[in-house]
Amino acid sequence: MSKTHPFAGLLVIDFTHVLAGPACSYYLGLLGADVIKVESKTKGDAIRHRGGTDTAAAKEGMSTSYLTQGAGKRSFAVDLESPEGMQQFHQLLARADVLVENHVPETMRRLKLDDKTLSTAHPHLIHCAMTGYGRGGPQENTAGYDVNLQAACGLMEATGTEHSGPIRTGAPVLDYGTALAASFAVSAALYERASTGQGNFVDVSMLETGLSLMSSSVTDYLKTGNEPQRRGNLANSRSPGAGSFPCKEGVMSLGVNEEAHFIALAKALGCEKWLSDSRFAKREERKAHSAQLATEIETTLATKTAHEWEPLLQNAGVPSARLRSLPEALNSAQVKERGFVQTTDDAIDVPTLPFRLGGADAYRPQSNAPTSGEHNDEILAWLASS
């Protein structure tokens, strides 16, 4: 367990659902915050009952999608449509440092939990609102999931090959990218509050998160007018020798972008002749003969398996990696050594944060993922105590 918890003592109210919102509060909790998950009294977070391949667990309201970012929280099930439930919610906000929610603005206005109302009632509060399109603009109340926003921001259009058509990424990268962006924004707002004493409204857009993940493509298009093209497994750098190449068995991903990388590649593959070949000796010539270079790389890589090539290339200083499945990646010595997978008290393995502070150990959830309303009695007694 990590000894560095910078958010210890902070209270976060998690009024979120599905993936992006719960992931944000999960990250804050891993860093020490006390997170109370506020759920509907009738059904709880909808993601409890869907997502993942463990259908039996989903029927019990503990789907793997919920477990992924449910640990370390307390659950308070409440009816916000009732005066009593709303009063309890405001009691929580009065004590809280951060509210994280991912409802469309019109829902929050209907509940009288919009940013203007909350900033008046709870001026100390950091209110983080995560939505598909952000506040303002014609789509501020448009609902959207990860797959919709991948389509809307241009990420799907840029993914795939000439022949495949647009393809979404194999994981909900906008959900988790937005969660990380929101956590970063909350951290900034808390730092500012330490100086001003005032809370703030944090407006996080999934659409703009997607555009941020495509930042280099955005700038390239704005400067040149050239739209991103689907390039399959070729690297965005467009460098000859940067991409994925089949081996005798398996696939190697090469990131040969610098002159030193190409020299190291040629030597590691036993192809020093490339360094004096007029087609490949200089970068511009390599670009003009990129198809021929790719053929020569593939021919050479076909003599060994990716398992054999990876240590040879990496030890030679060639940016490279063997294509792995998710199980292979999780079982790798690097991932295990770093402790990215942590185990909760009820023996559920879950991912943790992708960073460490001060060289501390990996962050582990302090408690299991709760059932809906599991901590109602405890929280109500706490609210009544003062």
Q: Would you say residue 377 lies in a domain?
A: yes
Which ranges of the chain would DSSP assign to H, the alpha helix?
20-30, 55-59, 64-68, 83-95, 105-110, 115-121, 146-153, 173-196, 206-213, 215-224, 259-268, 283-288, 290-301, 306-315, 326-330, 333-338, 376-384
**Position 221, amino acid:** Y
Select from 305, 313, 363, 369 the least CA-distant residue to 338. Answer: 363
Q: Which residues of the chain have pLDDT under 70?
A: 1-2
Residues 199 and 169 in one domain: yes
The last residue of one of the domains, among 284, 308, 330, is: 330
Question: Domain check: are 52 and 180 in the same one?
Answer: yes
Beta-bridge partners for 246: 251
107 with 31, same domain: the answer is yes
Q: What is the pLDDT of residue 2?
A: 60
* 8 Å CB contact between 137 and 203: no
Q: What's the CA gap between 158 and 36, in Å, rounded?
A: 39
* Domain interval for residue 271: 242-330
318 lies in the same domain as 174: no
- Could you count the other beta carbons within 10 Å of the beta carbon of residue 53? 8
Let me know whether 356 and 257 are in one domain. no
User: In this predicted structure, what is the pLDDT of residue 194?
Assistant: 97
**Residue at 226 is within a domain:** no
Radius of gyration of the chain (CA): 25
191 and 66, same structural domain? yes
Q: What is the pLDDT of residue 231?
A: 84
The whole model's pTM is what?
0.94
Q: Which two tokens stand for residue 353?
A: 């944060």
Is residue 220 included in any domain, yes or no?
Answer: no
The tens digit of pLDDT for each residue in 298-321 reads 999 999 999 999 999 999 999 999
| DSSP-derived 3-state class of residue 200 | strand
CB 214 within 8 A of CB 155: yes
Q: Are residues 41 and 176 in the same domain?
A: yes
The pLDDT score that the predictor gives to residue 97 is 98
Q: Considering the domain boundaries, does residue 64 fall inside one?
A: yes
Q: Is residue 229 part of a domain?
A: no
Inside any domain, residue 228: no
Q: What is the spatial distance between Cα 291 and Cα 276, in angstroms, rounded to a whole number?
A: 18
Do 36 and 99 fall into the same domain?
Answer: yes
CATH of residue 277: 3.30.1540.10
Q: Name the β-bridge partners of 243.
A: 254
**102 shares a domain with 152:** yes
- 224 within a domain of the structure (yes/no): no
In this prediction, residue 236 carries a pLDDT of 76
Q: 202 and 268: one domain?
A: no
Residue 177 lies in a domain: yes
Domain total in the chain:
2
Looking up residue 79, the CATH number of its domain turns out to be 3.40.50.10540
The encoded tokens of residue 71 equal 């640990």
Say if residue 69 is in the same domain as residue 106. Answer: yes
Torsion sign (Cα): 377, 378, 379, 383: positive
Same domain, 189 and 45: yes
